Chain A
Amino acid sequence: MSQAEAAFGAGGKKSPAPILKVDSVSKRFGSLVAVRDVSLAVDRGELRAIIGPNGAGKTTFFNLLSGFFPPTSGRIAFEGRDVTTISAHRRVRLGMARTFQITEIFPELSVQDNLRIGAEIAAGYALRAWINRAERTAVQRRVDELLDLAGLAAKAKRLVGELAHGDQRVVEIATALTLQPRLLLLDEPTAGMGDQETYAMTKLIRQLHRRGDLAIILIEHDMRVVFHLADMVSVLDQGKLLAEGAPAAIAANAAVQAAYLGEAA
């Protein structure tokens, strides 16, 4: 812990200390280096997009951030705390939630039960065989709040598996929010969506972001979404951080253009 504080500068409580600090992280699978020496800092309340050609290591990078597997080398700190070796479920409890490229939900349960499970785990009731009326009401209130926020109130009793793809993506984001995270990782939130759904999702993300103190990192292929939403863009290519900057600067960056054109050619 003290080592982490030294490494990541614990002194900066008042200055805008980054909520997430990644320090030269690498991930090796046998001879393949999927993520190579990536460093990155995301500020509190920032909306960061990660882009890059297919196979650039974006999802692997997300898996490192969320604790799906540990990095081969490097360090990750969340709110000044070294989380490099902390297990996935504990990172979630610290305030880092995520969604997946392929929607991960409870398909045979209703929308509201999906959210209720999340809310109960978040409230620390998962090991309880009994909750009293007040606790039950508090859980229900939280569920209703999220249903409203995500625009799912009319579909609360529907089975999630029966909903349209776009709605399922929204449910997944809403379940991730039950934990009231301060950092939300979204892996291609608009993947497989039509124009209308993409627009609605973009609106939802913007709304979540404006609501408060929530930092969001999203992997996205749709450049319209990226340029519409992001404060900052990081570009990964072949596992390395190719460029980082404001959206306009990234759009004009020659190396980034080359990486994308190289993929197209």
Chain B
Amino acid sequence: MSAGAAKLIALTAVWALLAAAPFWAPLVGGYTALGARVLVLALAAMSVNFLLGFAGVLSFGHAAYFGLGAYGAGFALKFLAPSTPLSLLCGTLLGGIAGALLGLLIVRRRGVYFAMVTIAFGQVLYYIAFQWSSLTGGDDGLRGFARQPLDLGFAKIDILGDETAFYYFVLLCFALVVAVMGFILRSPFGRAMIAIRENERRARFLGLAVERHIWIAFTLSCFFAGFAGALYALVNNFADPRGLHYSQSGDFVMMAVMGGMRNFWGPLLGAAVFVVVQDYLSSVTVNWMSFIGLLFVLVVLFFPRGLLGFIRRRAPA
């Protein structure tokens, strides 16, 4: 019961910190938009970790669905209608459906082969986005759209000009998706995912249709990544082919592993460290990635369960 209480306190603290970010972030040299970036990239890293940490399936190409989500949101705002919810929906659908289709082809692959095919597919999309300038803006990225005020019927919320209002919008989106993920992982479906991670052969010989299960988990994870990508387009008012690139996928995996992939909240911590270190260092040196790389190596060597795994082990009770 005390372990449950400790968990509840930790959870409350996390949400309180996130909710109060616009107030404390400037005091420590941060800014609200940085907070929104952390949340969005954390969501993407959590979508990777949904698969990696709980089904044991490594996708090294989740940037593909993240990037598609961003383009989907951009296209919707630019060509369909000036609506923020619609853009999120379109981005999520584009990323998720692409993932569902690719998933059908690759669920029988495992381990390195699975990772390789996901990378390859992501790179195909990257080059398409890069080359198809007339639609995507090519290397310059997709511009000419902006997130729209939220129309609640009785009130309009300006999330374009008001950074704090936008942060809370992102936090709300983050909370909703994270709640869905948590709900799924606690369900029989989630336990069967963990069964696959723990021992695929045993799961199969308990009568589980392993391939179908991985396909559904992969598809869900791509919907989450697509949603994160769509939010990212709203953060930047911009979609970029680099959002599809495998190095972006690598960043997501790094955030998940650095934060602790066996832990639901690990990727959030990983993303926070990653984004903050990147933000501070990139104003000092162009070689900021070497420092992140070094940090990553140190974490993997000394805290194999990630930063959060380390904290949890040190914490009493």
Contact = CB atoms under 8 A, between A and B. Distances in A.
A41 to B, nearest CB: 23
Please give me the 7 A-B residue pairs with the lowest Cβ-Cβ distance, nearest first.
Answer: A92-B207, A106-B198, A125-B188, A104-B202, A120-B188, A129-B187, A93-B207
A121 B202 contact: no
Contacts of B204: 88-89, 92
B208 A126 contact: yes
A180 to B, nearest CB: 11
Given A105-B199, A106-B198, A127-B216, A117 B191 contact: yes
Q: Which of B191, B202, B204 has the most CB of A within 10 A?
A: B202
Interface in A104-125: 104-109, 113, 116-118, 120-122, 125
Contact of A131 (B183, B184, B187, B207): B187
B199 A121 contact: no
Contacts of B189: 126-129
Given A106-B199, A129-B183, A129-B184, A89 B191 contact: no
A234 interface: no
Given A92-B206, A118-B206, 10 more contacts: A89-B205, A100-B201, A106-B199, A106-B202, A108-B198, A120-B188, A126-B208, A131-B187, A175-B202, A176-B205
Nearest to A172: B202
Given A93-B207, A178-B206, A126 B213 contact: yes
Interface in B172-216: 183-184, 187-192, 194-195, 198-199, 201-210, 213, 216
A89 B210 contact: yes
Contact of B199 (A104, A122, A128, A130): A104
A126 B199 contact: no
Interface of B: 183-184, 187-192, 194-195, 198-199, 201-210, 213, 216
B198 A121 contact: no
Given A106-B198, A121-B192, A175 B187 contact: no
B202 A105 contact: yes
23 contacts: A92-B205, A92-B206, A97-B205, A100-B205, A104-B201, A106-B195, A107-B198, A108-B198, A109-B198, A117-B191, A117-B194, A126-B188, A126-B192, A126-B209, A127-B189, A127-B216, A128-B188, A128-B189, A129-B184, A129-B190, A131-B188, A175-B202, A176-B205
Interface string A163-200: 00000000010011011000000000000000000000
Contacts of A105: 199, 202
Contacts of B184: 129
A102 B198 CA distance: 15
A98 interface: yes
A121 B208 CA distance: 6
B206 A122 contact: yes
Interface residues of A, number: 34
A249 B292 CA distance: 72
Contacts of B187: 128-131
Given A126-B189, A129-B184, A117 B206 contact: yes
A66 interface: yes
Contacts of B201: 100, 104
B261 to A, nearest CB: 13
A49 B205 CA distance: 21
Interface string A136-160: 0000000000000000000000000
A117 B192 contact: yes
Given A66-B205, A179-B206, A109 B188 contact: no
A122 B203 CA distance: 11
B182 to A, nearest CB: 11
A89 B208 contact: yes
Contacts of A175: 202, 206
Q: Which of B183, B188, B199, B213 has the most CB of A within 10 A?
A: B188
Interface string A64-85: 0010000000000000000000
B205 A121 contact: no
Nearest to A106: B198
A244 B201 CA distance: 31
Contacts of A90: 207
Contacts of A128: 187-189
Contacts of A97: 205
A131 B199 CA distance: 24
A98 B205 contact: yes
Contacts of A106: 194-195, 198-199, 202
Contacts of B207: 89-90, 92-93, 121-122, 179
Contacts of B199: 104-107
Contacts of B191: 113, 116-117, 120
Nearest to B186: A129
A178 B191 CA distance: 15
Contacts of B205: 66, 88-89, 92, 97-98, 100, 104, 176
A105 B201 CA distance: 9
A126 B203 CA distance: 11
A123 B13 CA distance: 38
Contacts of A113: 191
